[in-house]
Amino acid sequence: MNCDDIKLMISEYLDGELVKEKEAFLFTHLSACGDCREEFKIQNSIQHQTKINQREVSDRFEKKLFSTIENRNKTFAHRWITKPTPVYINYLLGIIVIAITLFSFLQTASLRNELYAFQMRYENSLQQINYQAMQMYNMMNSLPAVEIQPIKTSVIN
C-alpha cells in the first residue's frame, strides 16, 4: 500500500466513509509517514473550511430567507395600511355627494311648495273673511232705519 492509497483513505476518513478496520491501518501509516500526515492536515483543514463556508452560506441563506419573508409580511401590512384609494371609491363618493345634494334640493323644493300652498290657503281665507265682512256691512246698511220713538212717561206730568 503506497502513499496514494493512503491519500484516498484520508479523504474517505474525513468524509466518514472509511470502514473501521482500515482506520487503524491509516493511523499507523500516518504515525510513520510525514508526507501523509501533512496531506491529512491539508485535507482536514480544507474540509473544515468547506464546512464552515457551507455553514456560513447556509446561515446567510436562512437570514436572507427570513428577512425576505419578514419584508414581504411588512410590505403586505404596509401596503394594506397605505393602500391608495381606488378610483371607483372616489366615483362612489362623488355620486353619494350628488345624491345628497339632489335629495336636499328636492326636500327644499317640496317644503317651498307646501309653504306656498299654505300661503294660498291663508290668502283665500283672508279673502273670504273680507267678503263676509263686506256682505255684513251691506246687509247692515240695507236695513231700514229704526224709528226711535220717545218714551211716554207720566212722571213729568
Residue numbers of the site for Zn ion (CB under 5 A)?
3, 6, 33, 36
Identify which of 34, 44, 17 has the alpha carbon closest to the alpha carbon of residue 9. 17
Coil vs helix vs strand at 147: coil
Q: Minimum distance between the CB of residue 39 and Zn ion, rounded to whole angstroms?
A: 8
Coil vs helix vs strand at 18: coil
Beta carbons of 38 and 7 less than 8 angstroms apart: no
Q: Minimum distance between the CB of residue 58 and Zn ion, rounded to whole angstroms?
A: 35
Give 4 or 17: the residue with its C-beta nearer to Zn ion. 4
Give 35 or 123: the residue with its C-beta nearer to Zn ion. 35
Q: Minimum distance between the CB of residue 49 and Zn ion, rounded to whole angstroms?
A: 23
Give 6 or 9: the residue with its C-beta nearer to Zn ion. 6
Q: In this structure, what C-alpha cell is assigned to residue 141?
A: 246698511
Give 28 or 104: the residue with its C-beta nearer to Zn ion. 28
First to last CA, the chain: 190
Q: Sign of dihedral through CA atoms 133, 139, 141, 143?
A: negative
Q: Minimum distance between the CB of residue 36 and Zn ion, rounded to whole angstroms?
A: 3
